[in-house]
Amino acid sequence: MQNSVSSRLAEATAPEVATAIYAPSLGSFDVAALDRMCALNEAHALMLAECGLIDRDTAASLLRGIARVREDGPDKIDLDPRFEDSYFAFENRLGEVAGKSLAGWLHIGRSRNDIGSTLDRMLARDWCSHLLGHLLAARSACLDAAERYADTVMPGYTHLQPAQPITFGYYLANVARGLEREYERLAAVYPRADACPLGSAAFAGTSFPIDRQLTAELLGFSRVATPGLDAVASRDFVTELLWAVTSCQVLLSRVAQDLYTFTTWEFGSFSFPDRVAGTSSIMPQKKNMLPLEYFRAEAGRSIGALAGALSSVKGSNYSIGLDSVREGLADSWPAFARFAEALPLLRLVFETIKPDADKLLARCSENFSTATDVADGLVREHGISFREAHHIIGRAVQMVIARGEDASGLTAAVVNAAADAEIGRTFDLSDDTLKSWTDPVSAVNSRNKQGGPAPASTRAMITEMKQRHASDTSELESHRDHLRLSAKKLSERTSAFTG
């Protein structure tokens, strides 16, 4: 039996080869993939006609055939893995609709190599746009929550130990800044994917006088990809997008770990509505924060996909090959899909999380998180160095803890006893003054410099980040408008040929 796609091969593809290599990629050929394939072929047919490489009637017949294939949908395409990939399956279907001899004219000046690279770049652009849209929504929800809780005082933590008072709004403003950077990384992939390889053929171009710029414009690309070998052999825009996704997933995992800790019974300082939780099949009291566990797991899966992709590609030749352009990247596309599903969940987390403001404020008053403010007070009011003040207050805290008390036991007498032991002097210090230094709200409000947690400076940062969010939204819409306009022009030119 002859091979399904080439007379060079005297035997049909072995079932084992077809099943292991070709079938998996064909299984993902859906309506969206067909639409990209049809658009690519429409653009190429129009270009061939414009360049006089096929006559107008041939182009019109091809375009009508492509329209029929699109209308019939992927279910009418024979995705037998012996066709090797979606392009040959598409060409076979076009041959059934328009005639095999006519369909063969469409392959002038190109190869599966530049077709595959162009389709991957179109898909990467779509994923960039889709993911950026979801990330914009999550950033907006985070900024709204940061503004909502800009006055909600809570302990800040280092090494998961109480450190200094901040606000929950300040914490979220920091998360929003991180998300802003992750957005930049994702957005940076778009222009690198936005170059059209079509016309590079196998890698060395073609001797036919094609117009690559026209094809690129019809498909909404901003430029032509050159040189040809790099254009067809490199998929670093995919691994870069996967890196950007993985970087964001790592951030989300860290934030999820914080919130997971804060929602435990032992911390009990944050909560979510029941619709954002799971339960137990045996323990009736359970309210499990499964969405937060999900983010931690997804980061690990994304890291695995990235490591697998880079490990596969690094051993390939700098040319076309399964490991460099398809098999090595197979786990990337599902990783993008999972990230797209995770981002609306992230938005929901920001929208529904609720801090226990009273408990958080009480914790700040109990857990010595204002100790730095007491040391600062000694420096300002009593003329000692900060290191001396640090030692004094550290000893005072140790004395209070040794008595089994919380921060309310930090009195002027205790501070003076510690000062006498550390530096051999005491201070004219009242309990009222000490109380003012240990007030968490005052501690937060005093940190009102640029970037600090005071509500005013936090809101100033939020305002600036919302302006950046608006700018990012506008830029994304500009990309989307360009693709919509290009698709409309392609449709209009196709209709003019077939009308």
Listed in order, strand segments (DSSP E) in 182-299 are 195-196, 223-224, 270-271
Integer Cα distance of 143 and 466 in angstroms: 7
d(CA 419, CA 395): 8
Q: Which two tokens stand for residue 88?
A: 């040959």
Residue 280: active-site member: yes
**Gap between the Cα atoms of 309 and 480, Å rounded:** 28
Largest CA distance in the chain: 102
Residue with tokens 């196998």, as numbered in its chain: 202
CA distance linking residue 25 with residue 332, whole number of Å? 13
Q: Are 29 and 74 in contact (CB under 8 A)?
A: yes
Active site residue 200: no
| Residue among 7, 101, 159, 281 flagged as catalytic | 159
Residue type, 271: S
CA distances in angstroms from 3 to 8, 12, 353, listed in the order given: 8, 4, 60
110-to-5, 43, 316 alpha-carbon distances in Å: 16, 12, 23
DSSP 116-158: HHHHHHHHHHHHHHHHHHHHHHHHHHHHHHHHHTTT-EEEEEE
Going by C-beta distance under 8 Å and a sequence separation of 6 or more, which residues neighbour residue 337?
none
Q: Find tokens 């909560």 and name the residue.
A: 271
Both tokens assigned to 422: 């550390």
Instruction: Identify the active-site residue in 6, 28, 222, 280.
Output: 280
Contact 370, 316 (CB under 8 A): no
The DSSP 8-state label assigned to residue 162 in this structure reads E
Instruction: Estimate the share of the chain in helix, then strand, then coil, as percent rounded to the nearest 5.
Output: 70, 5, 25
- Which has the closest alpha carbon to 199: 223, 166, 168, 181? 223
CA distance 249 to 300: 8
Looking at the annotation, which residues are catalytic?
159, 280
